Amino acid sequence: MPYLSSKKPKHDVFLKRVNISSHVADVFEYHTREGALERLIPPWSFLRVLKNNNNIENGSITILRINLGPLGIRWIAQHLGYIQNRQFQDKMIKGPFRYWLHTHSFNPDEFNNCIMEDRIDYSPPLGFGGFKFVNNLIHNNLSQLFHYRHRVLKNDMNLWKLVRRNKGKKILITGSTGLIGSALVPFLKIVGEHQITRMTRPSSNQNYNDPNVVIWDPDQNKINIDKMEGYDVVIHLSGENIFGRWSNSKKQRLVKSRIGSTRLLCDSLINLKTPPSTLICASATGFYGNRGKDVLTEDAPPGSDFLSGVCQKWEESTESAKSIGIRVINTRFGMVLTPKGGILQKLAKPAVLKIGLQLGDENQYISWVSMEDVIGSIIYSIENSNIKGPINVVSPNPTKMSEFTRILSRVLDNKVQISLSKKTLKLVFGEFADYVVSSSSLILPKKLSSVSYPFMNTDLEDTLRFLLGRHIIKRE
């Protein structure tokens, strides 16, 4: 458990330990891999990595930015105290604290697993060290931060043991800067130790000679097929953001960005000399349409509305890849929860004023999934050759929309609840409300459960506290 030193030393001390069922050397190595720091920064954090050379040895420098609205504070840290498989430190040489030294220690337990300890010696900015509320604020923020980091680390190490037989694959990915892609890329690098190449659209600042980038332009039906040779896996995530009022032009972009780009990609893959063994293509649970209280698995037929039609054609666009023996996985994503975007970000915003929005009724179900299980299911699908065709990427515990918003308000400690009717939602979001905000889908992850995918987040309240940094802190 974390604690603040009861004494009054020169610096205050924060300490938290975690037991990890992995060898010390493996846990230490995790922290040396590309993407490790980005992976361990919570989605609700103000921290962003500006420079990190993936080196934790003595003398290396990491530069972070603390975003505070339009303002930003630079945090420059230097690594020291490096002892392989035992310890490394980072010391703030410029930033918001008067003093900051973070010591990461790795020690074996009696079963040769790892006891990891994070110790932070710190002194608040000049003039604030004597204020108890400042130290309590720092302590609480650190408790939330390391609760998140340690939980992610434990889960990553467990997944790494499951997928390590197929580590180091060459992966080509579209949509790498989108909501899912930006979380997936560092995860693939650190847990799968995969080599990632991004497939991006042309831009004015693009480095066309970058070996880790392949240029394509779906709008112009252009793709550099020569640079697509030699990949083991292709992950296709690009597409128009579904949120926003659905005008006719918006609906056209939704169709073109999904179906057109997928056809272009698959038509190119089948003409390669050495096509990939696996294609993972995004889809959505919108495939099923508004189905009320019907319990749905991957065997259920599609719905009959606009979004269902888009998803059907989207998945059908991968048939050409299947025809030449590529293992195609159509990931039907449910309501993805992350404070970085999507519905959770929109519903959490009024919490600044302690206002909660109440949506849905007792007959409307939502099939949610945490971002952690979205990216976890993708890496697990790369490893497990038994996974193919459509898979429902949802939590095994769907819930009612009304219950979801009630739990979210409790987590955010909202004081006022505002109920939004379907009529109001339709006025604000137009047709989008009918398909996404007001529809009902009770969907189960039958295929992922059948192959024993280890879900990280299954309890809704626990998941929301984890994602939003609202873990209930228990002190000794």
In order along its 476 residues, the chain shows pLDDT tens digits of 444 444 444 688 999 999 999 999 999 999 999 889 999 999 999 899 999 887 899 999 999 999 877 778 999 999 999 999 999 999 999 999 999 999 999 999 988 899 999 999 999 886 565 667 788 889 999 999 999 999 999 999 999 999 988 899 999 999 999 999 999 999 999 999 999 999 998 875 666 567 789 999 998 999 989 999 999 999 999 988 888 778 888 889 999 999 999 999 999 999 999 999 999 999 999 999 999 999 999 999 999 999 999 999 999 999 999 999 999 999 999 999 999 998 899 889 888 889 998 887 778 899 999 999 999 999 999 999 999 999 999 999 999 999 999 999 999 999 998 988 777 777 767 777 776 667 889 999 999 999 999 999 999 999 999 999 999 876 54
Class of residue 72 by CB neighbours under 10 A (exposed 0-12, middle 13-18, buried 19+): middle
Backbone angles phi, psi at 113, to 5 degrees: -90, 180
Class of residue 197 by CB neighbours under 10 A (exposed 0-12, middle 13-18, buried 19+): buried
Cα dihedral 77, 51, 65, 183 sign: negative
Alpha carbon distances (Å) from 380 to 280, 375, 396, 407, 445: 12, 9, 16, 29, 14
Tokens 């299911």, residue?
A: 377
Rounded Cα distance, 373 and 370, in Å: 5
User: Under the phi-then-psi rule, with left for phi > 0, alpha for psi from -120 to 50, and beta for the rest, what region is 194?
Assistant: beta
Cβ neighbors of 134 (< 8 A, separation 6 or more) are 124, 128
The size of the chain, in residues, is 476
SS3 state of residue 242? coil
Rounded Cα distance, 382 and 269, in Å: 18
Q: Are 2 and 15 in contact (CB under 8 A)?
A: yes
Please name every residue paired with 66 in a beta bridge, in sequence order, or none if there are none. Answer: 47, 73
Name the pairing type of β-strands 87-94 and 99-108: antiparallel
Alpha helix locations (H) across 271-348? 306-316, 319-323, 342-348
Rounded Cα distance, 173 and 187, in Å: 13
Please calculate the CA angle 227-229-234 and round it to the nearest 5 degrees. Answer: 95
Q: Are 2 and 138 in contact (CB under 8 A)?
A: no
Q: Which of 469, 183, 187 is nearest to 351 (CA)?
A: 469
SS3 state of residue 394? coil
Alpha helix locations (H) across 41-167? 132-163
